[in-house]
Amino acid sequence: MHIADPPFTNAAASNAGWRAHLALEYAQRDQAGRARTVLARRRHDGPLVVQKALYPEGDAVCHNIIVHPPAGIAGGDSLEVDVRVGEAAHALLTTPGAAKWYRSAGAWARQYNHFVVATGACLEYLPQETIVYDGALAQPDTEVQLAPGASYIGWDVLCLGRSGSGERFTRGQCHASVRVSRGGKPLWLERARIDAGGLLMQSAAGLSGNSVCGTLIAVTENPEALDLNACRAVTAKSGDTAVTRLPGLLVARYLGHSSEAAKSYFVALWQLLRPVLMGRPAIVPRIWNT
């Protein structure tokens, strides 16, 4: 399996911004009679890297932390993360801290995540929260392509404005999309256009005045094995939550004012779902505790 060099196609990105690309390829190897997931190939161009592979739960699962050294995404930046997980391999990706999308003078900023998961493989994408600053023009996009028998758990927690410092999202836009498919057939497609101060932010059918929203997606060929009642019994410390089971996947939502409440809610759900979905208990990455 080879990772091609994808072109940067965001015409709205300014040439003055950072252009970064990170490509990761995971494979299962037999080492001394044990199956071990290894980071078989990695390549980066620009300020987007991973730290060394970690194995807090043994050889079967490879943990990596994706690091963006500038610490924030500014207008004109274009970041791409391309991840391939080979047959029977298992990778978990997270981040060291919140992603920050800074105020823009007019250029859009973009991050595109492209995940390809082979037959019998597992991928977990569990980043820390995303903070969209007042005045930002942000375009985060994620595409997940699963082969038959592949499993995926991923979440995102979106914070509009820096509510902790009293900042509200009154200027700017956030255009986000998530696409999930299996064997080329779409399972989930969601696009959100959030205009700062717009009707969606205040509408009861939208964010209803809340500054934090989040989505967890768990994809399995047998979603009936996931206990919907047990998932709905998990509650957040504050805010509203909901869980829906659809053909091929389970979707959980958070809506409120606390990124901490959203994250702890998703972690609790992940600890419930992972043993069923991936056959192993949830081991919390150490970076979450720092």
The confidence score (pLDDT) of residue 14 equals 45
CA atoms of 81 and 96, how far apart (whole Å): 16
The confidence score (pLDDT) of residue 12 equals 41
The predicted-structure confidence for 107-136, as pLDDT tens digits, reads as follows 999 999 999 999 999 999 999 999 999 999
The confidence score (pLDDT) of residue 278 equals 95
* Residue 222, C-beta contacts closer than 8 angstroms, at least 6 positions apart: none
Pairing of strands 99-101, 130-132: parallel
The predicted-structure confidence for 37-48, as pLDDT tens digits, reads as follows 999 999 999 999
The confidence score (pLDDT) of residue 223 equals 83
CA atoms of 146 and 122, how far apart (whole Å): 9
The predicted-structure confidence for 55-94, as pLDDT tens digits, reads as follows 999 999 999 999 999 889 999 999 999 999 999 999 999 9
- Give every residue of the chain whose pLDDT is below 50, as ranges: 1-14
The confidence score (pLDDT) of residue 15 equals 52
